Amino acid sequence: METNAKNFTMRMAVMEDAPEILAIYEPYIRKTTITFEYEVPTVEAFRQRMAGILGAYPYLVCEMDGKITAYAYAHRFKERAAYQWDAELSVYVDENCTGMGMGKALYQALIEILKCQNVKNAYALVTSPNEKSDALHKSMGFTLEGVSHNTGYKMGKWLDVSSYVKAIGSHDPQPAEIIPCSAVGEERIAAILGRIQGYLLKRSL
């Protein structure tokens, strides 16, 4: 798919983006084992999911020619208090727009914002095998921590899940308090997105 690099824009997601984001996610549910969901949620249910993340963690979109073509978000890894310095990352790219670097750019932006929130560890769970996702995480310095074998069943087969982790902050004896994404500041986030968007534009020239 041909495109003009100057038309790429990265920004924070808003609730009004829910239909476009869900349209990207839907084929992954219907046609792949990348997500373990069976049924496509309604737009309203998807909005509720977004509402549970927005403000607390970064939720980002990448637009091309004004249309959302990729999105990524972070959320709490596990609920117990001691896990609060961990976050899990997810990224999805329009099935017709892969290979342009949007997923990697969004991932990098997530990590930079999470650092500002004082998150120490970034996690990702990947259905195995998934060569593209495995390559993405390894290229970004994630380490394969382990594999859960036959842990999910979809599309007539049992599936493994690989767990990746990357330390994104120092593990101090007294870690700084986690702050919500909304407290990082719009200017700081805009600077991060602008810098990484610049890398994306240069890559696609």
**What is residue 201's predicted lDDT score, i.e. its pLDDT?**
72
Region for 179 from its dihedrals, namely left if φ exceeds 0, alpha if ψ lies in -120 to 50, beta otherwise: beta
Question: Would the pLDDT of 174 be above 90?
Answer: yes
Tell me the per-residue pLDDT of 66-119, one tens digit each, with 9 for 90 and over. Answer: 899 999 999 999 999 999 999 999 999 999 999 899 999 999 999 999 999 999
Return the closest-CA partner of residue 72 out of 100, 87, 91, 47: 91
What is the pTM assigned to this prediction? 0.93
Mean pLDDT of the 192-204 span: 82
The pLDDT assigned to 6 comes to 52
Calculate the CA dihedral of residues 179, 111, 143, 199 and round it to 10 degrees.
Answer: -170
Domains observed in the chain: 8-204 (3.40.630.30)
Whole-number pLDDT of residue 17:
98
User: What is the pLDDT, as a whole number, of residue 30?
Assistant: 98
Are 72 and 12 spatial neighbours (Cβ–Cβ below 8 Å)? Answer: no
What is the predicted pLDDT for the residue at 204? 61
Q: Which residue type sits at 126?
A: V
Residue 189 to residue 16: CA distance in whole angstroms: 20
- Which tens digits make up the pLDDT trace of 41-56? 999 999 999 999 999 9
User: Residues 181-199: what's their mean pLDDT?
Assistant: 94
What confidence tens digit (pLDDT) does each residue in 117-146 have? 999 999 999 999 899 999 999 999 999 999
Write a three-state SS string for 152-188: EEECCEEEEEEEEEEECCCCCCCCCCCCCHHHCCHHH
List, in sequence order, every residue forming a beta bridge with 62; answer none if it has no partner: 10, 70
DSSP state of 117: T
Residue with tokens 């998807």: 46
Structure tokens at 46: 């998807």
State how far the Cα of 52 lies from the Cα of 118, in Å rounded to an integer.
Answer: 20
Q: Residue 183's closest CA among 127, 93, 118?
A: 118
Residue 205 confidence (pLDDT) above 60: no
